[in-house]
Amino acid sequence: MHRIFLSDLHLDSPDSITFRKFEECMAFESERVDEIYILGDLVEMWIGDDDDSPIALALKKTLKTASHHCSINLMHGNRDFLFGEAFCRSSGVTLLEDPHLVDKHILLSHGDIFCTDDSDYQTARKTFRDPTWQREILSKPLKEREMLGKALRAQSTEANANKSSNIMDANLEAIDKCLAKHHADFLIHGHTHRPGHYSNRIVTGAWEINGWLCRQQDDQLQLECFNLATHYGNESSDLAS
């Protein structure tokens, strides 16, 4: 089995370097791997599957093209929790629950469920993931949802600026409890923007100056980093194995 796992691309424009690199990555990897897993925060903000903005249209096209070659799986993040079945049908991807188990021992997650020291965030997350709240939001006009989304992002940025970085990191006890609950021994997640290969987990990084992914080939897992300014496939560095 050959898979890749990535997260936290925060795509917001089809003209950005990050989006062009994402296109290259999907085109290159979809013809070489069996499965692609996107573990949340694929976009900076998702306001509903009826979004017809340039980024929404380009994203659907890129994913649909890649889905003709391999299986593509998508997980909600804290910025794109409104991805729904309509988006999945139009882009050829499968929506996963968080967490999700593969190979009976590897647990996948966006990662925000482990940030249990940040009680304010967990309270907000519970609201945003509530089906009743989501139905109410999605019933509003597209323009109103766009304005609300921008306001929520601004509030989150301001709130995070006043928090200790440790509070926003994954809680190791929460990770151990989740692994035990699902009878897993290894975790792959994103969200914290602290990439690395730890004792029982790999954390994928945010696509900022560099892009990040975790590659699985049979029983081997490695974290890869590549420069967003260069052509995908020509260079990458393995930071952990």
What is the average pLDDT value for the chain, to the nearest integer?
93
Task: Enter the pTM of the model.
Answer: 0.94
Helix or strand run (H / E) with residue 22: helix 17-30
Architecture of domain 2-240: 4-Layer Sandwich (3.60)
Task: Please tell me whether residue 125 adopts helix, strand or coil conformation.
Answer: helix
Q: Are 190 and 77 within 8 A, CB to CB?
A: yes
All structural domains of the chain with their residue ranges: 2-240
Cα–Cα distance list, 5 to 47, 189, 204, 224 (Å): 24, 9, 8, 10
Q: From CA 204, how far away is CA 225, in angstroms rounded?
A: 9
Q: From CA 6, how far away is CA 25, in angstroms rounded?
A: 11
Digit-coded pLDDT (tens) for 109-128: 999 999 999 999 999 999 99
Q: Does position 38 have pLDDT exceeding 50, yes or no?
A: yes
Q: Does position 185 have pLDDT exceeding 80, yes or no?
A: yes
pLDDT band, residue 55 (cuts 50/70/90): very high
What's the N-to-C CA distance of the chain in angstroms?
Answer: 17
Mean pLDDT of 120-149: 95
Report percent pLDDT > 70 for the chain.
Answer: 94
Q: Does position 221 have pLDDT exceeding 50, yes or no?
A: yes
59, amino acid identity: L
Q: From CA 207, how far away is CA 21, in angstroms rounded?
A: 10
